[in-house]
């Protein structure tokens, strides 16, 4: 067996693929260690590379991220105390840029750069509005001996080249079974897609099938020459996080700001706790596209580099280094704790939860608990059930309203929390926002369970990582992915099974009966967990949906306790203790002293008898007697007059209501009743509690009136002394009592529920009239919500307006005569729909908009829209493959769409009718263009031809043959007498569109021609090419007028200004250049943007350029340039996802709605989609 003290190099892998590759490069494999630290959980492979003894370890299967790596490093240092240098070797996502030509199979080595240590943890920083990304700290540098060896090896490679490819092949010769997964894949599978090209979500087919390999979607890169290293080694900054980088736009942003070369998920967890060099083989491009076939080779080539590096270091250099455990000292013992905290903070903050739902939340700070000495039998039963190995999974505590269920639940939760066995709690409460429904039940419970059981974190992380929108999915999917699956993947141990209790209180207050039934169907599945003993404690009234739900639980596998059927003597004892305690406080706290024996044993017994079995009655009695505005002796007498009434709620609440009307004249009573309905009726109906200030604004009355009506109701309502805090019901039974039709016979203060809903709907819509465009005064409509200060939102959208936006429809559908009043909703939406959507988005409630519209539609029939056609948002179905080009006819009466299905289709934008299907091309159609008079349509195709059609009849007019490669672009001259076509055969051809005769072949480009454009007067033709140049031709003679050089990558788009004095070119070098087309001079420095420029066009007045990465001010660059008056609404698409009007972002397109191409006609935008759809959006300003 091997002695752990003999090993000085620690090598950590994240996944099994990396672990296999590392072992393949060992010169010698050793036996396992003689002993390990008792706390060690790692698997190790020991061996030798060169003259160094190496210990290799891998993260546990299914775990990833910075904290998992930190825990592996901690255990390694405990078990192998003489480790002096560390390596983190494996795979990562490349971050290609113009500066760094990173390709699949290349290697990135973490070397200090730009003031950073070599690794930056980019999710541990913060984004500041209007500023670039700011990290919060710096990570330790790799050891000096490793950095020196990297520099030496770099010089060696520069002089002689490397043999990494040969080393990989030799290792595979020794281990032939690895060839299939670990050999270098075909170079054709190395595709770098442009940042706007997104792999279809959830689609597991290859990118070659789903995303294609045509040049318009790929970034062109010249093949590496024999003089270049392949794979290449890059030295610099690696970005590490707790999530995979799968977004090319975010990747480009981090690259632009920090200059990173690679993204990965583990290194940041090591650098401060296990100083090491990070070596990554590139297996993908940190975007949405899949390159799994490169993982094996990337791991092998990274391991090959690590071996070369170690062979440059002599053992004496390593021995002179301090032991890592000595350098870090006491920090080692806190590695996992610190990393866990970072993990939890990052991932759990991404999991929405219901505010105030936990038993010990700030909102619950004044909620009652059981008085010591009361409810002892019940609390003992609950604890015995929870910790008994034979106990059933579920305990259902049920009872009628007011029997003390929530008080018992809160007391039990506190007890379980004190002995660390409370896993989670969720206290439903009707009218308290997210606590009144099941949408955030399971995310809230999952969040608490992950904090209670750290081993669950990786499972919850995976669920959130795999589906960032999981919290908005159905509750069955939430339960399975956030709770059940993470629990089932916990490893069993030999230690005693840990009992964890989850408490769900007041399940009957969940607003959807179907959700209640589903919750009860799902919860029993938790007993499948073998690593943890889950106990579920539920309370509710015995409502029908809940009783049916429990009835369907197999084999009646739950324990239940019915509070109102407990022995009368036990309830009497507890209520007596409670009343004695509280009334003694009333005696001592009153300013005017009460008799020492008040209320007397006889009256006390009467109160006890009156209360049984409702603890809420006893609690309300005490609050009535505590009210400083009423005489407790008089209040007690009125309470006792109801002792013979059959209804417990009558005895609880009628004394409170009756005394409001006493001593009032008939006229005063009438006014008081109206004001009570207006204020208190609103409070009991509200879906979310509001403060005195917000209530007054919502109701359109004074704050003083609200205070006046609440002043005598402190025994049934929680009225804070601070007017900005919400007013709440002490107990839902007060609402039940006021809304009960039987109450109408007993008091004029009965609340007509439908009438209050009617008033509330009206008031909500009145308040919503304050909505307006850009209500928060943001710099642009495209400002991301994450960058908006919450204080600004709350200032511009005060609580009453937030409430009105969220619940106006709820109140509307509850009112009477719905058919009459639904028009209020229609007129509101007609005027304020987009303002309302904007407000809901700012509030983080955008997902509720569709639900609200569905609610309205289910409740009534909204005004119907002609289903045959609407230009405001219409999709045209017909193409069976991608739409790559769309164009409007000059008069706007036709739209042509070209597709990968080899056809061109002609549509009527006014009706949506398909006019013609133009068939004839034998391959994909890449571009279409109408002649200036609209009488001809040209189409260019991958079949190397251009076809001319009659748009009116669909007849084929000409087939123009001659190109030797794909035809990428076509354009008519302004007078319509010439047609230009640019091709992959490096030429531009000029044709006579009437006769089809070839006029000129323009030769000079050395690579594909990507775009062509005529000047407004037709005297010049510009062509942009993959050879990085723009060329200007005389179309009349074919002579080359200018060759414009300066771009460092393919020129994708060219455009003339409306007056013809400027030429713009956009390139994959992420710049836009302005040229003088007469002299060929460059106008000042080029614009540097954040991505590949694939489309550009001048505004109608020539004052600015519209590009796919934003608009650019032309006048600021060209002193002698004058713009004309704006003529049309300027519509454009930026970054493939934002629609802009006159340079301002107004509409964000989700991934499934983004287009491959677009065209505008006045105020109408046409979009061509990868699905084959063509859609229209009409803008009205």
The answer to whether residue 81 scores a pLDDT higher than 90 is: no
Across the range 1062-1079, mean pLDDT stands at 93
In DSSP terms, 1002 is beta-bridged to: 988
Q: What is d(CA 1112, CA 1128) in angstroms, rounded to the nearest whole number?
A: 18
pLDDT at 1123 over 60: no
222 in helix, strand or coil?
coil
- For residues 1164-1168, give the mean pLDDT: 89
Average per-residue pLDDT in the chain? Answer: 85
Q: Give the number of other CB atoms < 10 A from CB of residue 440.
A: 23
Lowest mean pLDDT of 100-114, 276-290, 581-595, name the range.
581-595
DSSP bridge pairs for 645: none
Most confident segment among 212-226, 844-858, 914-928: 914-928
Given pLDDT bands bounded at 50, 70 and 90, which one contains residue 133?
Answer: very low
Query: Beta 107-110 vs 85-94: how paired, if at all?
Result: unpaired
- Which of 244, 240, 246, 243 is CA-nearest to residue 258? 240
| Nearest one of 371, 365, 363 to 618, comparing CA atoms | 371
pLDDT tens per residue across span 370-393 = 999 999 999 999 999 999 988 899
pLDDT value at residue 332: 44
Question: For residue 763, what are its two tokens?
Answer: 């008031």
Pairing of strands 1164-1168, 1157-1161: antiparallel
Q: Report in angstroms the alpha-carbon separations of 487 from 441, 531, 534, 558.
A: 17, 8, 10, 20
**DSSP labels, 118-177:** SEEETTSSEE-TTS-EE-S--PPPPPHHHHHHHHHHHHHHHHH---HHHHHHHHHHHSGG
Can you give the pLDDT at residue 242? 67
C-alpha–C-alpha distance, residues 307 and 627, integer Å: 81
Q: How far is CA 557 from CA 398, 520, 834, 1047, in A?
A: 16, 12, 51, 73
Q: What is the pTM of this model?
A: 0.49
Region label for 913, one of left (φ > 0), alpha (ψ between -120 and 50) or beta (otherwise): beta
Residue with tokens 């003999």, as numbered in its chain: 6
Structure tokens at 928: 């279409």
* CATH, range 663-751: 1.10.10
Mean pLDDT of 737-764: 91
Q: What is the pLDDT of residues 781-807, one digit of tens each?
A: 777 777 788 888 989 999 999 999 999
E strand or H helix at 822, and its extent? helix 818-842
Q: Three-class SS of residue 874?
A: strand
pLDDT at 120 over 90: no
Q: Which of 352, 354, 401, 436 is nearest to 810 (CA)?
A: 436
Binned at pLDDT 50, 70 and 90, residue 1077 comes out as very high
Q: How many CB atoms lie within 10 A of CB 956?
A: 13
Domain range annotation of the chain:
4-219+230-344, 350-566, 567-644, 663-751, 765-866
Q: How far apart are CA 113 and CA 110, in angstroms?
A: 9
User: Nearest to residue 902, comparing CAs of 1161, 1172, 1156, 533?
Assistant: 1172
Is there a cis peptide before residue 917, judged by omega within 30 degrees of 0? no
Greatest C-alpha distance within the chain: 118
Token pair belonging to 652? 């609880």
Centre a 10 Å sphere on the Cβ of residue 68 and count the other Cβ atoms it contains.
25
Supply 1072's token pair.
């836009």
Write down the pLDDT at residue 252: 84
| Cβ neighbours of residue 480 closer than 8 Å, sequence gap 6 or more | none
What's the 3-state SS for 311-331?
HHCCHHHHHHCCCHHHHHHHH
Q: Residue 504's pLDDT is what?
A: 97
* In contact, 1084 and 1046? CB cutoff 8 Å: no
Q: Which of 297, 285, 69 is nearest to 164 (CA)?
A: 297
Give 309: exposed, middle or buried? Use CB within 10 Å, 0-12, 13-18, 19+. buried
Handedness of CA 441, 442, 446, 449 (dihedral sign): positive
Residue 994 DSSP label:
T
C-alpha to C-alpha distance for 1093 and 1109, rounded to whole angstroms: 7
CA torsion sign for 1028, 1034, 1037, 1039 is negative
Is 125's pLDDT higher than 70?
no
Query: Residue 132's pLDDT is what?
Result: 42
Q: Could you tell me the pLDDT band of residue 37, with boundaries at 50, 70 and 90?
A: low
DSSP 33: B
Contact 13, 298 (CB under 8 A): no
| Residue 594: burial class (beta carbons within 10 Å; 0-12, 13-18, 19+) | middle
pLDDT of 494 > 70? The answer is yes
Distance CA 454, CA 450 (A): 6
**Cα distance between residue 947 and residue 938, in whole Å:** 6
H helix runs in 752-817, sequence order: 753-767, 790-796, 799-814
Q: Fold for domain 4-219+230-344?
A: Rossmann fold (3.40.50)
Half-sphere exposure (Cβ direction) of 926: Cα atoms closer than 13 Å: 25
More confident site: 24 or 319: 24
The owner of tokens 């908006």 is 788
Q: Across residues 648-658, what is the average pLDDT? A: 78
Lookup: tokens for 139 = 């990570």
The answer to whether 185 and 297 are in contact (CB under 8 A) is yes
pLDDT at 569: 87
Do 663-751 and 4-219+230-344 fall under one CATH topology? no
Q: Please, where are the H alpha helices in 268-322? A: 268-271, 295-312, 315-320
What average pLDDT score do residues 189-194 get? 88
Residue 1084 CB-density burial (10 A; 0-12 exposed, 13-18 middle, 19+ buried): exposed
What strand order describes the sheet that includes 1144-1148?
1131-1134, 1138-1141, 1144-1148
- Over residues 756-767, the pLDDT tens digits come to 998 999 999 999
User: How many CA atoms, within 13 angstroms, populate the side-chain half-sphere of residue 793?
Assistant: 17
Residue 56, strand partner residues: 11, 45
pLDDT at site 982: 96
Looking at CATH, the fold of the domain delimited by 350-566 is given as Rossmann fold (3.40.50)
Please report which confidence band the pLDDT of residue 299 belongs to, taking 50, 70 and 90 as the band edges.
very high
Q: Which residues contact 175 (CB under 8 A, 6 or more apart)?
A: 24
Is the pLDDT at 1147 greater than 90, yes or no?
Answer: no
CB within 8 A of 999, min separation 6: which ones? 978, 990, 991, 992, 1038
User: Is the torsion defined by CA of 855, 861, 863, 869 positive or negative?
Assistant: positive
Nearest CA to 207 out of 281, 265, 264, 284 is that of 284
C-alpha–C-alpha distance, residues 364 and 429, integer Å: 11
């Amino acid at each position: 067996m091997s002695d752990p003290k003999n090993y000085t190099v620690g090598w950590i892998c994240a996944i099994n693929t990396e672990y296999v590759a590392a072992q393949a490069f060992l010169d010698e494999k050793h036996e396992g260690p003689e002993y390990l630290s008792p706390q060690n959980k790692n698997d190790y492979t020991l061996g030798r590379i060169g003259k160094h003894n190496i210990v290799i370890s891998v993260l546990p299967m299914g775990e990833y991220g910075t904290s998992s790596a930190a825990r592996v490093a901690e255990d390694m240092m405990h078990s192998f105390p003489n480790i002096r240098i560390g390596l983190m070797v494996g795979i990562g996502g490349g971050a290609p840029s113009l500066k760094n030509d990173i390709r699949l199979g290349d290697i990135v080595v973490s070397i200090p750069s730009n003031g950073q240590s070599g690794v930056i943890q980019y999710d541990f920083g913060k984004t500041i509005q209007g500023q670039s990304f700011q990290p919060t700290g710096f990570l330790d540098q790799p050891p000096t001996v490793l950095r020196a060896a990297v520099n030496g090896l770099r010089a060696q490679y520069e002089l002689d080249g490397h043999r990494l490819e040969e080393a990989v092949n030799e290792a595979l010769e020794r281990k032939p079974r690895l060839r299939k997964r670990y050999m270098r894949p075909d170079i054709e599978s190395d595709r770098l897609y442009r940042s706007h090209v997104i792999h279809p979500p959830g689609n597991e087919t290859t990118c070659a099938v789903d995303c294609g390999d045509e040049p318009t979607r790929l970034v062109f890169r010249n093949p590496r020459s024999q003089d270049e290293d392949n794979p290449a080694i890059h030295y610099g900054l690696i970005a590490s996080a707790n999530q995979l980088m799968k977004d090319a736009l975010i990747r480009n942003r981090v690259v632009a700001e920090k200059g990173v070369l690679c993204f990965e998920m583990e290194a940041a967890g090591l650098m401060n706790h296990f100083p090491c060099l990070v070596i990554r083989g590139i297996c993908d491009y940190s975007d949405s596209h899949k390159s799994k076939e490169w993982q094996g080779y990337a791991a092998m080539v990274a391991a090959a580099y690590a071996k070369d590096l170690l062979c440059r270091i002599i053992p004496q250099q390593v021995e002179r280094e301090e032991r890592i455990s000595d350098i870090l000292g006491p920090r080692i013992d806190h590695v996992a704790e610190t990393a866990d905290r970072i993990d939890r903070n990052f991932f759990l903050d991404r999991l929405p939860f219901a505010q105030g739902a936990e038993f010990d939340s700030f909102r619950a700070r004044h909620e009652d608990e059981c008085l010591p000495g009361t409810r002892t039998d019940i609390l003992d039963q609950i604890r015995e059930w929870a910790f008994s190995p034979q106990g059933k999974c579920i305990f259902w505590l049920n009872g009628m309203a007011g029997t003390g269920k929530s008080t018992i639940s809160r007391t039990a939760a506190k007890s379980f929390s004190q002995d660390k066995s409370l896993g989670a709690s969720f206290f439903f409460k009707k009218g308290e926002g997210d606590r009144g429904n099941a949408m955030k039940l399971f995310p809230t419970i999952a969040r608490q369970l992950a904090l209670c059981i750290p081993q669950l974190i990786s499972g919850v992380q995976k669920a959130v990582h795999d589906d960032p929108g999981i919290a908005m999915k159905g509750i069955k999917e939430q339960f399975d992915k956030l709770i059940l699956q993470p629990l089932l993947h916990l490893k069993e141990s030999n230690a005693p099974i840990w009992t964890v209790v989850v408490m769900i209180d007041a399940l009957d207050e969940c607003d959807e009966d179907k959700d209640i039934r589903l919750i009860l169907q799902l919860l029993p599945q938790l007993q499948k967990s073998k690593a943890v003993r889950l106990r579920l404690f539920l309370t509710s009234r015995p409502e029908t949906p809940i009783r049916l739900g429990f009835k369907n639980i197999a084999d009646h596998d739950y324990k239940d306790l019915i509070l109102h059927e407990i022995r009368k003597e036990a309830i009497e004892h507890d209520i007596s203790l409670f009343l004695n305690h509280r009334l003694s406080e009333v005696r001592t706290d009153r300013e005017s002293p009460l008799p020492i024996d008040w209320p007397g044993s006889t009256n006390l017994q009467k109160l006890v008898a009156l209360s049984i079995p409702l603890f809420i009655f006893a609690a309300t009695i005490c609050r009535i007697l505590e009210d400083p505005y009423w005489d407790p002796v008089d209040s007690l007498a009125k309470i006792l007059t109801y002792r013979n009434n059959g209804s417990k709620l009558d005895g609880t609440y009628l004394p409170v209501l009756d005394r409001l009307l006493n001593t009032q004249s008939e006229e005063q009573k009438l006014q008081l009743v109206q004001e009570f309905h207006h204020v208190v009726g609103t409070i009991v109906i509200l879906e979310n509690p509001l403060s005195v200030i917000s209530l007054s604004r919502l109701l359109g009355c004074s704050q003083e009136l609200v205070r006046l009506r609440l002043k005598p109701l402190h025994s049934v309502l929680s009225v804070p002394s601070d007017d900005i805090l919400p007013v709440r019901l002490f107990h839902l039974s007060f609402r039940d009592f006021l809304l009960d039709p039987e109450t109408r016979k007993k008091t004029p203060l009965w609340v007509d529920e439908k009438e209050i809903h009617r008033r509330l709907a009206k008031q909500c819509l009145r308040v919503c009239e304050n909505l307006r465009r850009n209500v928060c005064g943001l710099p642009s409509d495209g400002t991301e919500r994450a960058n908006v200060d919450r204080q600004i939102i709350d200032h511009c959208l005060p609580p009453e307006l937030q409430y009105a936006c969220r619940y106006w429809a709820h109140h509307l559908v509850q009112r009477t005569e719905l058919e009459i009043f639904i028009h209020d909703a229609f007129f509101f939406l007609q005027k304020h729909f987009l303002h309302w959507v904007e407000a809901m988005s700012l509030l983080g409630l955008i997902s509720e908009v569709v639900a609200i519209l569905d609610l309205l539609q289910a409740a009534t029939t909204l005004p119907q829209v002609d289903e045959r056609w609407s230009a405001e948002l219409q999709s045209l179905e017909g193409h069976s493959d991608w739409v790559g080009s769309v164009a409007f006819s000059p008069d706007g009466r036709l739209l042509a769409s070209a597709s990968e299905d080899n056809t061109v289709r002609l549509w009527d934008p006014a009706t949506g009718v398909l006019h013609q299907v133009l068939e004839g091309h034998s391959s994909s159609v890449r571009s279409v263009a109408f002649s200036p008079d609209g009488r001809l349509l040209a189409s260019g195709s991958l079949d190397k031809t251009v076809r001319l059609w009659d748009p009116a009849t669909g007849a084929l007019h000409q087939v123009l043959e001659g190109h030797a490669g794909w035809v990428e672009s076509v354009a008519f001259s302004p007078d319509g007498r010439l047609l230009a076509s640019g091709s992959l055969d490096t030429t531009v051809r000029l044709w006579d569109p009437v006769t089809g005769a070839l006029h000129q072949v323009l030769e000079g480009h050395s690579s594909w021609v990507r775009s062509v454009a005529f000047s407004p007067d037709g005297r010049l033709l510009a062509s942009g090419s993959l050879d990085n140049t723009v060329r200007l031709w005389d179309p009349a003679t074919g002579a080359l007028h200018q060759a414009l050089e300066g771009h460092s990558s393919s020129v994708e788009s060219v455009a003339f200004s409306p007056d013809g004095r400027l030429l713009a070119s956009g390139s994959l070098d992420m710049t836009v250049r302005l040229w003088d087309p007469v002299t060929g001079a460059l106008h000042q420095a080029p614009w540097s943007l954040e991505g590949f420029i694939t489309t550009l066009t001048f505004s109608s007045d020539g004052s600015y350029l519209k590009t796919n990465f934003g608009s650019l001010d032309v006048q600021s660059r060209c002193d002698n340039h004058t713009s004309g008056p704006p003529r049309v609404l300027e519509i454009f698409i930026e970054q493939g996802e934002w629609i802009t009007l006159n340079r301002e972002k107004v509409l964000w397109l989700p991934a499934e709605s983004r287009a491959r191409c677009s065209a505008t006609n006045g105020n109408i935008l046409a979009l061509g989609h990868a699905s084959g759809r063509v859609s229209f959006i009409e803008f009205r300003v």
